Structures are given as structure tokens and as C-alpha cells.
Amino acid sequence: MTDVASTSAAEIDAALKVWKQGDCVLGEQWFAFRRSEGEGGLHEEQVEGFVVVTQSCDIVRPMVRRPVVEVSPLVKVDGAKIDQIRRGRMLQYGFVPGIAARHLVADLDRTMTVHKEVVSRWTRVEGCLTDPEVRQFADVLARKRQRFAFPDEFSALVKPLQDRFRSKHDKQTAEGEAMRALREIRVQARPSWNTNPIDLDFFLICDETAMDVIATQQRAWQQLLALRPPYRAADFMTVSLDELTAAQYVATDPLDLEYLSSSGA
């Protein structure tokens, strides 16, 4: 491999100007990780390529200030699995629209850093082709890295709801249609997660056109929760994006039931 010092910083910076989060390199690449302590513990594994997961603003910053980028390996999956990933059901993986036809997705459980000199020599493959796709890929990364650590008691409480979504989401029924129309579920604990008792508010967020469809199902979903201490009450509310206030948004945490996607797809 060409030594880093052989390429000027100005050349590297110029090459990286066109790169953004979600862009890829395809073909034979090697993912490196430490598998054991001591000499010989560094392991390399051949992968199908890489996707850049560093934020776009840091990719284009001068190399002297940000010399490396983060990448995740690309892995091949079958058609059924890639559709689940596209819908946001499997947070281990990230859907990359520009290479989806190749049945390649990002394995977000694995990340390594690569010097920008190396990236500057790659053949860039655009991963996200539109602004909504760029935002959706960034949202997948955010969900992966910033998921709220709900208390174990709460996770047990909502497990029947999670199981319901897993079994009914793809059904051609009114309930399945309502599940697919959801953009997000957000939860608020009142007065806080550290008190006893706790009252829970579940905000079922959707587009204005889907509110009636979801509202007809919310009571049945609410009844799946068998309340036990410290949880005293749980209210489900169907709200549109326009109705959800900024105060409610910052006071709530996203509930990821695996079958919910940021796009509502």
C-alpha cells in the first residue's frame, strides 16, 4: 500500500470533498479487529466492501484536523432479509439504497477507522442518492448508537406489545395496516424513570392521513400491557407530527419494537 506521506494533505482533502456518510467502496477489502491479546492477536477478515459511517461534515474537514474516518463492512444478505432491513427491523444492519440491488447492507455491529489517505484512493460508490435517503441512513446510525436504556421492568412490560408487532406487522389486516402506518412510538415516564409509582404515556406518531387507522387499534395495544409496580398507568395517544410538541419530543424516548421504521415504510 502507498505510504500515507506520499500523498499530500491537499490532494487527500480534495479527493474527500465529494464523499459523504453512506458512500461505499466495493470489492475485496479487509476488516481488521483485535481477537486476542498480545502479538498475533490482530485479525483481518475479507469483506465485500465498506460503507462510511462518519458524519459528512467530518469527512470533508481537513485531514490535519480529522485524519481518519469510520467504516463498517458490507455483507451480503438474501432478498427477504434486505426488505426487513429496509424497513428498519434489524438494527444490526443499515440499508444502503445505492447498493441494495447487489443485496449488500452495512453491518453496523462492526466498525473500524481508516486513514483518509486510503479513502482518497478508493473508487467512490454513492450509497444514498437523495436527501431523504441520506437522512434515513443517518437516523439508522443514530438509533443504533443512541438507543435509550429502558429499565428491565419496562422491557418486560412491553414484551407482549413487541411480540404482537412481530407476529402481525406484515399481515394484510387492519391491525397490520395500522402498524405499517406508524412512524415511531415514543414513551414518557411521569414524573421520571427513577420514581415509584410511574405513569407512562405512549405517543403513537404517524402522518395525519393515518391517524384514524391507528386510533382504532390503540386500545387493543394498550390492553397488552399487564401493569405491575412501579408502573401505575399507561395511556396510548395517537398524534400526528404536527401535533407533537417540541416539549413532548424532548421529554420522551423512542421505543424500538424492531418492526418500526423511521420512514413509516
Look up residue 6 and give its amino acid.
S
- Write down the pTM of the prediction: 0.69
Look up residue 206 and give its amino acid.
C
pLDDT in tens, 13-48: 999 999 999 999 999 999 999 888 888 888 999 999
Residues 156 and 194 in one domain: yes
**Rounded distance between C-alpha atoms, residue 182 and residue 108, angstroms:** 24
Of residues 179 and 83, more confidence is placed in 179
Region 116-133: mean pLDDT is 95
Residue with grid cell 431523504, as numbered in its chain: 132
SS3 call for 221: helix
Residue 264 lies in a domain: no
Mean pLDDT, all residues of the chain: 90
Of residues 147 and 66, more confidence is placed in 66
Region 100-117: mean pLDDT is 96
What pLDDT does 261 receive? 43
H or E element: which one contains 236? strand 231-240
Number of domains in the chain: 2
pLDDT in tens, 176-226: 999 989 988 999 999 999 999 999 999 999 999 999 999 999 999 999 999
Residues 137 and 163 in one domain: no
By CB neighbour count within 10 A (0-12 exposed, 13-18 middle, 19+ buried), where does 63 fall?
Answer: buried
Residues 134 and 229 in one domain: no
Residue 99 lies in a domain: yes
Residue 262 lies in a domain: no
Residue 170 lies in a domain: yes
> Is residue 166 over pLDDT 90?
no
Residues 223 and 244 in one domain: yes
State which residues form the domain around 130: 4-146
Residues 108 and 126 in one domain: yes
Paired with 77 in beta bridges are none
Residues 79 and 102 in one domain: yes
> Is residue 255 over pLDDT 60?
yes
Residue 70 lies in a domain: yes
Largest CA distance in the chain: 65
Residues 217 and 197 in one domain: yes
pLDDT in tens, 236-253: 999 998 899 999 988 998
**Rounded distance between C-alpha atoms, residue 163 and residue 257, angstroms:** 9
